[in-house]
Amino acid sequence: MKVMSFSCVEKLPKLLNHTCGQTIRPAWKTINAGKCNVIINLEWNKDGRLGKCLGQRYDVLKQPRFKIGEKFRVEWKSRNSPKDSWFCSRCGNETYYSPELGSLHKDAVEKNIQHCVLDKFPKILGYGKITQVFKIEMSADGKDISDELAVLDGFSNAQEMLDWFNSHYSLKKIQQFFVYRWDWLK
């Protein structure tokens, strides 16, 4: 079964109470090309060679990861935590149990995290079934992004969502994303 992983703390409360049934993911992947030997235009460079290096990284459009009707597991921080992990429902950080101190953040001492972890949740948040998949375009001006889309995605409004996406994906140029909507399974 495929896994849909989340780490966006802004969405956490709505994921925990199963009122968030949408996520937006990049419609591209970044390829590391290794040594560059691609010529993109024919002109003399400063070092006396013909052409310019395209660079060692470039983006390629990809197919949607999920299909309509597909079932999947919803997890919190899937890639960087063990399967039996528990997390703080206030900040999303991984926790552990100490017989002397009770539940603590995994790195509470190093990061000086002081709020309590009375309410925690397991890594697996539940299961879902994809109901819609479609592509959108997003840029920093946010002209085509509605508050409705943002709220369905777990944000308070379109500006909060745009700020988050801009900080993670740089929306200086128009970017394409897949929108996945799902129903939570009981």
Single-letter code of the amino acid located at 41: N
Please, what is the Cα angle at 93 between 91 and 98, to 5 degrees?
115
Q: pTM for this one?
A: 0.77
pLDDT in tens, the chain (186 residues): 999 999 988 899 999 999 999 999 999 887 665 555 444 443 444 444 444 445 555 677 889 999 999 999 999 998 888 888 888 888 888 877 665 655 566 655 556 555 555 678 899 999 999 999 999 999 988 888 999 999 999 888 999 999 999 999 889 888 999 999 999 998
Please, what is the Cα angle at 118 between 112 and 120, to 5 degrees?
95
Residue 89 to residue 13: CA distance in whole angstroms: 8
- Domain regions of the chain by residue span: 1-27+64-84+124-186, 28-61, 86-122
1-27+64-84+124-186: CATH topology: Sulfate adenylyltransferase (3.10.400)
